[in-house]
Structure 1
Amino acid sequence: MSETDNNNAAEEAVEGGAPRRNFKKLIIIAVVLLLVGGGGFYYWRSRSAAATEATEETDAKPTKAATEKKSKAKKPVDDSEEEEEDSPPKKSGTLKSALPKDGDVKKVIELPPFIVNLADTDNARYLRMTVSLGVGGDDGSEKPDQLFMTRVRNAMLAVLSEKTSDEILTAEGKAKLRKELLKAAQAASDEPEVQAIYITDFIVQL
């Protein structure tokens, strides 16, 4: 083979190999572009999905709050609750027991204030109390005499001086004291008949 033939063969080999190398480069570039594009698309989809979830949660919260608010607003009002609000407060048992039964009272007589040393042993305490008597009789017009007033006060002082502050400071204690004072007043005198006791002033010095 001549030198010219060898040169021609070498040139053909070089020309034949160049397209192959270019094709490989194109494939590599295409693969890289696909990888980069795929990664970018995945990143974009992830961010888009996260933003969509955040928007849905934000929209759902006001909706839930509005639903709860509407639910509270539409809550039916129990008829018994309306009746309780409109009806006057009922008297408790303690308050009822503190009110004297004075259906037969014809006249009220106010006694001078009592100032009594109580029976407390830890400290000296005193009671200042004003009492009115509800008396009966035919018409209640007869004025009670001094003997009646003295007997009633003496009987009441005997009851008060035996009491401690703990016994008379509660509502129950006051109701019990009023009943005891009524019994003492009724036992002290028959005429005029004492029907009720009204405590109009009550102060305990502690």
Structure 2
Amino acid sequence: MHVAEEQKPAKKSSKVKWIILLLVLLLLAGGGAGAYWWFFLRQPPAQAEQAATEADKNATKGAGKTDTAKSEGRLTTLPPFLVNLADPAGRRYLKLSMDVEVNAPAAVKEIEGQTAKVRDAIILLLSGKSYTELAAPEGKLLLKNEVADRLNQILGAPRVTRVYFTEFVIQ
């Protein structure tokens, strides 16, 4: 009888071990599911806000209301640029094509009417850049802002709202 009493606590401790193991596995599975959602499924706050804004716009348009404040800009395509970069060896060049978003339809005509000034300003800007400045994503974002600033200086007013690179090749 003494042997039978020793086996009962062994069964209880093995049940406790199984329960603990099951709880640990459930926690790991929950953590993995949470991490998957966090990194792959959730929208960053900026995207979520933008999606909500677009949904609100679509809802008001669907209700038959007119949108008095048009936030959508017009796109104009600039001809491609091919410039040598300011690298010490002088062997690198940049081929860049871009679209420019403006906030008024008249600004498209202004840009097209001043193509020589626009091309000159952008060529001078691009040829002053080096490969190391443009290789990182931050450098490309800075370049977009600089192009918008230069174009707004030429136009004399803040007409250019965004710059989109459609081709960006460094050789």
The TM-score range, normalised by the shorter chain, is: 0.5 to 0.7
Task: Give the number of equivalent residue pairs.
Answer: 139
Q: Distance in 1 between matches of 2:132 and 2:86?
A: 10
- Which of 27, 40, 46 in structure 2 is aligned with 1:75? 27
After the TM superposition, which segments of 4 or more aligned residues of structure 1 sit over 6 Å from their partners? 62-65
Alpha-carbon contact 1:129-1:200 (below 8 Å) kept: yes
Q: Distance in 2 between matches of 1:147 and 1:164?
A: 30
In our comparison, the structure showing a higher alpha carbon Rg is 1
Q: Distance in 2 between matches of 1:162 and 1:141?
A: 27
Output one character per residue of 1:124-166: Cα deviation in whole Å (capped at 9) or x when no partner: 10001101111223x4596346542221111111100000000
- Which of 136, 141, 145 in structure 2 is aligned with 1:170? 136
- Cross-structure match for 1:90: 44
Alpha-carbon contact 2:74-2:108 (below 8 Å) kept: no
Please state if 1:129 is matched with 2:96.
Answer: yes
Identity of aligned residues (%): 24
Aligned counterparts, 1:11-22, within 5 A: none
Please state if 1:157 is matched with 2:110.
Answer: no
What is the one-letter code of the residue matched to 2:75?
V
Alpha-carbon contact 2:102-2:108 (below 8 Å) kept: no
Output one character per residue of 1:159-199: Cα deviation in whole Å (capped at 9) or x when no partner: 00000000011011111111111111111223793232111
Q: Structure 1 unaligned runs (5+)?
A: 1-61, 93-102
Aligned counterparts, 1:1-206, within 5 A: 69-75=21-27, 77=30, 81=34, 84=38, 87-90=41-44, 104=71, 106-137=73-104, 139-140=105-106, 143-144=109-110, 146-190=112-156, 193-205=159-171
What is the one-letter code of the residue matched to 2:120?
N
Higher strand share: 2
TM-score, with structure 2 as normaliser: 0.61
Q: Distance in 1 between matches of 2:89 and 2:78?
A: 30
What is the one-letter code of the residue matched to 1:164?
S
Q: Structure 2 unaligned runs (5+)?
A: 1-13, 47-69
Alpha-carbon contact 2:118-2:151 (below 8 Å) kept: yes
